[in-house]
Structure 1
Amino acid sequence: MRTLGVVLAGGQSSRMRQDKALLTLNGSTMLERSVNALRPLLPEVWISRQTDQAVPMADARIVPDTMRDCGPLGGVAAVMEQAVRAGFDAVLLLPVDLPACSAADLSPLMAAGEREQKPVCFSGHFLPLYLPVNSAVLEFTQRQLTDSKARKSVASVFYQFDGIQLPPPDSNALTNTNTREEWLTATREEQHG
């Protein structure tokens, strides 16, 4: 089983009003923290990011969305297309805006996904997500992006392929930082952690 780690970092960060991936917490950017959360589990980590967005990591493999402004699903589709060509069987998707998420938090997703060969997320959170990579998943995802009536969401892929939801971690690993206020709360929690 060959699984690829993917950091989803190509969003517009419109609610944050600055690029979330470049925000720094304890000396590391959010992008670096996300890559470092995946690396203990997976030897290869790619970054879904737009070509006009800065990347503070020189050795990173960047995969731009083939269809812009489609939310996380646009990044997922672009990465899956290249992952299929590179011979990966699955991806473990981590959004860049979960500063407290660690390899220990992600490990149960990967274990359940590899065992069941189905999408796996935490209850109430469609990201992070373990997602098998095959032609059926790729075709469905691409159809979601091109069909004007389709729901362009990661959740639609999860449900289409009978995904499994695990209990969420007890930590604040899934605390999202989309706004300035959420970011300030996360930085305070990290400092007093």
Structure 2
Amino acid sequence: MKKQEVNVISKEHSKHAKLIRPAFGTYHRNEWAMVGAQCIVIKLLADQIINALSASYKCAYVDTTHNDDVVLMPGRLANGAVLEYTDQINHRQLNYNADFNSFKLRDTFAGVDLVIANGNHHQCKAQVVIISENKRASLQKRIDQLTNVQMLLLAENTNEVFDFIKEAIPNWEQLPLYRVGDIENIAAFFKQQMQLTKPEINGLVLAGGKSQRMGFDKGAVNWHGTEQRYYMADLLKPFCTDVFISCRADQKNEIDSNYASLADTFTDLGPYGAILSAFREKPDSAWLVIACDLPLMDESTLLYLVDNRNPSSVATAYQSPVNEFPEPLITVWEPKSYPLLLSFLAQGYSCPRKVLINSDVTLVNALNAEALTNVNTPDELERIKRILHQKIAAE
């Protein structure tokens, strides 16, 4: 009998792809559980904070129903439906008959900017502790939940931080300490935290196209004394932490080693795949994405886009002067757009513009519309050459 071959898997083998996970907590990147007070106090405090922040940020609140009686299933759920959607006059309502694990929760809260939760029932990766005599014993029981306390609040009936809190939080004296009623300073704390966690911007020059209409690589065209892909990368550097040249895997060896490159891992999807590949590499960063075929692009146009960036939106884009649609390839895509892009892809769409048209985006008008001109054909190339020659002659 032939001896059966045995395949030995080395210790280095991993059956899962090495992915960089976003810095999520239970619900979101920015989430705080408020713990240490009665639920009604937490609810009212959250209402005041959200009211102070809502002009600038999309806020969410998490709590648990406090009805003592048995809660009956609402509407059609009582008859066996698993989902009920109601389009109300001034809001929309979704009722589920299903458990929400952390994966579903993160997906549900992906479009907001911050989450505040009632910490008596829900845990978050950061906490705000309310010091209240009425809940001293309850808070002491929850001491293990205080893993990342960022602010302390004194209730009206309390004047000192409890000793067990001081022991559990060695740096408590360095934390902000306010009265529960000091909404101005409490809201200022959250605003400061949102500024501190504002996603950095990385740059992505789209240079992985096959340039079929042009007949040769558009990224290699020399408009300004160097290949266009490098010129655009240099143009992005003042506005970005890091800049990458997006390319196909077979192009990677062609890219100058002085420039960082990022090969597509979502293949055959054009710019859509390049954007997804960038988020796969750095999911907590915003990406200033720009096509390499914009020979009239200038620093002032990029500066205006970045200055008008709205991190609360899915993206900040220029409105096309031709058809009034968003220009997806000169856009700041925020981290919250990553799951959205994947969602559109799952529904069979790979058009970045379609995502922008159907999402919450911030649109700005270019001060110099000519800078948005792209080049796809030899005829367009000749026209741009004439424009550039005229500019040089006028200088």
Is the structural similarity TM-score above 0.5?
yes
Q: How does 1:99-114 map to 2 (within 5 A)?
A: 99-114=295-310
1:139 correspondence with 2:339: yes
Q: How does 1:22-171 map to 2 (within 5 A)?
A: 22-53=220-251, 55-84=254-283, 87-88=284-285, 90-114=286-310, 116-124=312-320, 125-134=327-336, 137-147=337-347, 150-171=348-369
Query: TM-score, normalised on structure 1?
Result: 0.87
Q: Indicate if the aligned counterparts of 1:24 and 1:30 stay in contact, CA closer than 8 A.
A: yes
Residue type at the aligned position of 1:83: K
Residue type at the aligned position of 1:16: M
Q: Indicate if the aligned counterparts of 1:98 and 1:175 stay in contact, CA closer than 8 A.
A: yes
1:186 correspondence with 2:380: no
- Aligned partners of 2:300 and 2:233: how far apart in 1? 14
Which string of whole-angstrom CA distances, capped at 9 and with x for unpartnered residues, describes residues 111-147 of structure 1? 222464441111122220011014xx22222233344
Counting aligned pairs with the same residue, the percent is: 24
> What SS does structure 1 have at the residue aligned with 2:245?
strand
Q: Indicate if the aligned counterparts of 1:119 and 1:132 stay in contact, CA closer than 8 A.
A: yes
> What SS does structure 1 have at the residue aligned with 2:373?
coil
Q: CA RMSD in A?
A: 1.9
Q: Indicate if the aligned counterparts of 2:224 and 2:231 stay in contact, CA closer than 8 A.
A: no
Q: Indicate if the aligned counterparts of 1:68 and 1:74 stay in contact, CA closer than 8 A.
A: yes
- Aligned partners of 2:239 and 2:363: how far apart in 1? 20
C-alpha spacing 1:44/1:60, structure 2 compared with 1 (3 Å): same
- Aligned partners of 2:256 and 2:310: how far apart in 1? 29
Q: Indicate if the aligned counterparts of 2:301 and 2:368 stay in contact, CA closer than 8 A.
A: no
Which string of whole-angstrom CA distances, capped at 9 and with x for unpartnered residues, describes residues 29-82 of structure 1? 110111122012224101110121263421222212222221210100001110
Higher-RCO chain (CA-CA 8 Å, sequence separation at least 6): 1
Equivalenced residues, count? 186
Runs of 5+ unmatched residues, structure 1: none
